[in-house]
Amino acid sequence: MLDLTSASLTALAAGLAAGTFTSRQLADHYLDRIRRLDGALNAFVLVDEAGARHLAEAADRRRAAGYPLGPLDGLPIAVKDLCDIRGQVTTAGSHAWRERVAQETAPVVSRLVAAGMVLLGKTQMVEFAFGGWGTNPHLGTPLNPWDLAEPRIPGGSSSGSGVAVAAGLVPAALGSDTGGSVRIPATANGVTGLKTSRGRIEAAGTIPLSPTLDTIGFLARTAEDALLLTEAVRTGAGQGGPVTPAPQADPARPLAGIRIAALDPADYPVPVHADVRSATVAAEETFRALGASVETVRVPFDFLRLMTANGVIIAAEAYAYHGGQIDEPGLRFGEGVRTRVLSGRAIAASDYLAALAYHAEMQALWRRWCGQYHALLTPGLADPAVPLSDVAEDMSSPAVFTRAGNFVDATGLALPAGFSQGGLPVGIQLLGAPASERFLAGLGSAFQRVTDWHLRTPDLRALAA
pLDDT in tens, 226-274: 999 999 999 854 444 444 455 455 788 999 999 999 999 999 999 999 9
The mean pLDDT value of the chain amounts to: 95
Q: Which residues of 211-241 are buried (b: 16+ CB within 10 A; e: fewer)?
A: ebbbbbbbbbbbbbbbbbbbbbbbebeeebb
Instruction: Please check whether residue 76 is in contact with residue 30, taking contact to mean a CB–CB distance below 8 angstroms.
Output: yes
DSSP helix/strand/coil, 46: strand
Q: How many CB atoms are located within 10 Å of the residue 451 CB?
A: 16
pLDDT in tens, 58-102: 999 999 999 999 999 999 999 999 999 999 999 999 999 999 999
The verdict on whether 181 is a catalytic residue reads yes
Nearest to 283 by CA among 307, 242, 255, 306: 255
Q: How many CB atoms are located within 10 Å of the residue 368 CB?
A: 10
Which pLDDT score is estimated for 315? 98
Which pLDDT score is estimated for 238? 44
Contacts of 452 (CB under 8 A, 6+ apart): none
Give the pTM: 0.97
Which pLDDT score is estimated for 249? 58
154 to each of 160, 381, 463, how far by Cα in Å? 8, 12, 17
pLDDT at 196 over 60: yes
Question: Active site residue: 94, 158, 181, 210, which one?
Answer: 181
Which pLDDT score is estimated for 395? 83
pLDDT at 420 over 90: yes
Question: Active site residue: 8, 23, 94, 157, which one?
Answer: 157
Which band of pLDDT confidence, cut at 50, 70 and 90, is reported for residue 408? very high
Q: What structural domains and CATH numbers belong to the chain? A: 9-458 (3.90.1300.10)
Which band of pLDDT confidence, cut at 50, 70 and 90, is reported for residue 396? confident
Question: Active site residue: 80, 158, 159, 197, which one?
Answer: 80
The DSSP code for 383 is S
Between 131 and 235, the more confident residue is: 131
pLDDT at 368 over 50: yes
